[in-house]
Amino acid sequence: MTATKTLLITGVSSGFGRALAQEALADGHRVVGTVRSEKAQREFETLDPKAIGRVLDVTDFEAIDCVVTGIEDSVGPIDVLVNNAGYGHEGVLEESPLAELRRQFEVNIFGAVAMIKAVLPHMRERRRGHILNITSMGGFITLPGITYYCGSKFALEGISEALGKELGPFGIAVTAVAPGSFRTDWAGRSMVRTPRSIPDYDPLFDPIRQAREEKSGRQLGDPVKAARAMLAVIASDAPPAHLLLGSDALELVRGKLTALATDIDTWESITRSTDG
């Protein structure tokens, strides 16, 4: 990026949030990062003089407006919001309590939307801004055993796309960034796992869980390269509505779109038969 910007990134303690914050700081930008504790705030602020931490749980909806207003008043206009905070839930739907679904959506969807709603009045008044929502290739393709997670990421993809159409007239861009498998903590300490309880699902799910655990930390994707890609999008005069990251995401999503087109073509006569 050539122009200095102020980025507000949620969840900068690790993963994509930390990588993006560090790369943005290295490029000379100011980064306000949300963390979950004062200790994490102090640690983040040691990275660079332009690193500013704010303690915030994105599900503390009543606190978000105050934090965002404080940033606007004391740091300056927020140019870019990056909704990175989130986590993965692993579990077969029949085995997984509804409370886990509610929590998955509270963090991955309601937290992201609450952040967006807090920054939008400021961006809209200035007629500029950019919102990046970190989704997943799991917002396009699905795997058994992460049903709740995929549901939340499909929702965030749809919200992002529709929101972009609402905000386009105001000069505000929205990009849904969908990573494939990267070397982050997503499949490690950041994942919440529902205990297994129904043996019928063992043949389907156990190999998937085992493969995910074995692959954790050795995924193809490099978070620093993902951060550089996101910075390129932020710098673009015509950022995309959707951005895939990783060759695995590219291959799997293209396969999904091909299969979807096949289904549409196969059932076209039935589809058309319902017109009045």
Cα separation, 9 vs 84, in Å, equals: 7
Q: 160 in helix, strand or coil? A: helix
Beta-bridge mates of residue 20: none
What Å distances lie between residue 74 and 46, 68, 209, 229, CA to CA?
19, 10, 46, 29
Cα separation, 197 vs 51, in Å, equals: 45
Please, where are the H alpha helices in the chain?
A: 15-26, 38-45, 61-74, 98-105, 112-126, 147-167, 202-215, 223-235, 247-266, 268-272
Cα separation, 113 vs 136, in Å, equals: 16
Q: 90 in helix, strand or coil? A: strand
Is 148 annotated in the active site? no
Cα separation, 17 vs 33, in Å, equals: 8
187 CB contacts (<8 Å, ≥6 apart)? 88, 212, 213, 215, 216
Indicate which residue of 87, 148, 149, 201 is catalytic: 149
Q: Catalytic residue positions? A: 149
